[in-house]
Amino acid sequence: MRLSTAFRYEQSISNLQQRQQELSTAQMQLTSGKRVNAASDDPTAAARAERALASMARSDADLRAVQASRNAMTLAESGLGNAIDLMQTARETVVAAGNGAYSQNERNALTAKLREIRKQMVSVANLPDGGGGYVFGGKGSTSAPFSDDTTLTPPEVVFNGSPGQVLAASTEEINLTMNGEAIWMNITRDLGNGTTETFSAFDALDSAIADLESGSNPSGAVTTGLARMDRVLGQFQTARSQAGEMLNRLDGIESRLADGKLAAQNEKSNAEDLDMVRAISEFQNKQTGYEAALQSYASIQKMSLFQYIS
């Protein structure tokens, strides 16, 4: 076949340009480290990388929920620890008040101590979570969930929140608050005659103070007071172990989230990252090809009949 001289030059130029462009694409991939720089480089991989990225962002968000829950549960756990200590001190005080040799004055000194403990109990129950809420606020409460209802005589502590608990945003059920009403207010005691009484942790102290101050039956007051306080302690311990259990679970959830994020990172990298060894070898191939094209151009353009017929 005849070859048109102009077309031949045209073709060599366009081939050179194409090789140059391939070389530049390979270079861009090498410098960016990414195989997929635009969706059209590999639409499926681009979509996979997009999903993996969303999954990574989500793990980060879930982790913040876990951290908030851990913060709240750590506070709850230590708050309940304080409450147990306080109740323990109160119990010891009531035991001391049972001393038959004590006069009413001496017993009154002990009830003063019990009142102090009650005050501290209320502030432990109103433990804030650091973000405007309350650890024992139940389903949420903007003001202190426990307060003295002074319209009653004697004043009683009432629960102002709504019963239940606030959950954190997570696929697993994790708490941001504890059910304050269940822990502090609804304590039951079997009276042994087929009936049960329900009282609050504060009632247990209030009634012990009242009974001891009336002086009519100190030993009976001590017995009843201790029985109620033991129930309160039992309740606190159960709640405290719930909080501890929650903290354990949070550790598990956190490590699962970290694993999930790592898996998503791997997925993203598999989808869009460059296989460096292969890329470098391809780059060198293209470089060699370009050099060969340049050399052949340089030698062919010298070949013309006009070179020989001067």
Partner 1 sequence: MGSGIYSLGTGAMNAARAMLDTTAHNISNVNTPGYSRQRVELATEDGLYTGAGFFGRGVRLTTVSRATNEALSKEANLNTAASASDATRLSKLEQLEKALPLGEAGLGYSATQLLNTFVDVSNQPLDMSARQVVLARAQEWVSRVHTADQQLNQLQNGVVTDLTLNVEQINSLTSNIAGINQSIAALKGSGHAPNDLLDRRDKMISDLNKLVQVNAVEADDGSLSLFMGGGQLLVLSNTAQTLSVVRDLNNSALGRVALQTPNPADPSQPFNRILDSSQITGGAIQGLLSFQDMDLAATRQDLQDFVSGFATAVDTQQSAGLSAPGVAGAPIFGGGPYTPTDITVTLTDPAGLAASGTPFSASDNANARAMLDLRDDAIISLNNLPPSTLTDAYSQMIGNMGVLVQTGRTAASISSTLETNSAQMLSAESGVNLDEEASRLIQFQQSYQAAAKVLQVAQTVFDTLLNISR
Q: Which residues are at the interface with partner 1 (CB under 8 A)? A: 1-7, 11, 36, 38-44, 46-51, 53-55, 57-58, 60-62, 64-65, 68, 129, 131-133, 137, 139-142, 161-162, 166-169, 176, 304-306, 309
d(CA 244, CA 248): 6
Closest approach, Cβ 129 to partner 1, in A, equals 8
Closest approach, Cβ 89 to partner 1, in A, equals 32
Closest approach, Cβ 271 to partner 1, in A, equals 11
Q: Which is nearer to partner 1, 113 or 139 (CB)?
A: 139
Which residue in 260, 247, 255 sits closest to 58, CA to CA?
A: 260
Sequence length of the chain is 310
The b/e string for 154-176 (b: 16+ C-beta within 10 A; e otherwise) is eeebebbbeeebbebebebebbb
Q: Which is nearer to partner 1, 68 or 232 (CB)?
A: 68
Q: Which is nearer to partner 1, 238 or 301 (CB)?
A: 301
Whether 222 and 228 have beta carbons less than 8 Å apart is answered as no
Closest approach, Cβ 141 to partner 1, in A, equals 6
Q: What's the farthest any 2 CA atoms get from each other in the chain?
A: 141
Q: Which is nearer to partner 1, 161 or 218 (CB)?
A: 161
Query: What are 20's two structure tokens?
Result: 């140059």
d(CA 241, CA 94): 26
Whether 33 and 273 have beta carbons less than 8 Å apart is answered as yes
Exposure of 4 by Cβ count < 10 A (0-12 exposed, 13-18 middle, 19+ buried)?
A: exposed
Closest approach, Cβ 17 to partner 1, in A, equals 13
Query: What are 28's two structure tokens?
Result: 């861009």
Residues pairing with 175 in the sheet? 167
d(CA 203, CA 235): 14
Closest approach, Cβ 54 to partner 1, in A, equals 4
Closest approach, Cβ 34 to partner 1, in A, equals 10
Q: Which is nearer to partner 1, 10 or 259 (CB)?
A: 10
Q: Which is nearer to partner 1, 139 or 256 (CB)?
A: 139
Q: Which is nearer to partner 1, 151 or 307 (CB)?
A: 307
Which residue in 241, 223, 237, 200 sits closest to 118, CA to CA?
A: 200
